[in-house]
Amino acid sequence: MNEDTRFEIPKDMKAMAEASFDQARKTFEKFLTSAQATAGSLEERGATVRAGAKDISSKAIAYAEKNVQASLDYAQSLLKAKDLTEVMRLHSDYVQGQMRSLAEQASEMGQIVSKAAMEAAKPKA
């Protein structure tokens, strides 16, 4: 590859960005732990929270975790890109992957919400 067309992030900026991503991952992990604990405490309240709400909150947390992780992985991969062509390929792959993932998540969430609504509408025996 010609030195004139080489894409390179300055070392200081790269080190700072990597430290920022590491901090973002740690912050996200703390947030996720807290969100899961909150969801767990809501579920323990018994009759006020239905099983459907548990499924919905569990899925929403799992989706959030997956989406944030994908975004962090994408951002970190950009730091390692060798040239503009690789940046464009990484971006295209990320966008396509996220579109597929979001479509799957929307479909699954729709099914869970429908199931929860049907369960809630059932007459109590």
Task: Check residues 125 and 96 and name the one with the higher pLDDT.
Answer: 96
pLDDT value of residue 88: 92
The per-residue pLDDT for range 55-91, each reduced to its tens digit, is: 788 888 889 889 999 999 999 999 888 888 999 999 9
- Find the mean pLDDT for residues 97-125: 80
Residues 6+ apart with CB under 8 A from 97: 70
Which range is most confident: 51-55, 93-97, 121-125?
Answer: 93-97
Region for 111 from its dihedrals, namely left if φ exceeds 0, alpha if ψ lies in -120 to 50, beta otherwise: alpha
Q: What percent of the chain has pLDDT over 70?
A: 71
pLDDT value of residue 23: 73
Cα separation of 12 and 20, whole Å? Answer: 12
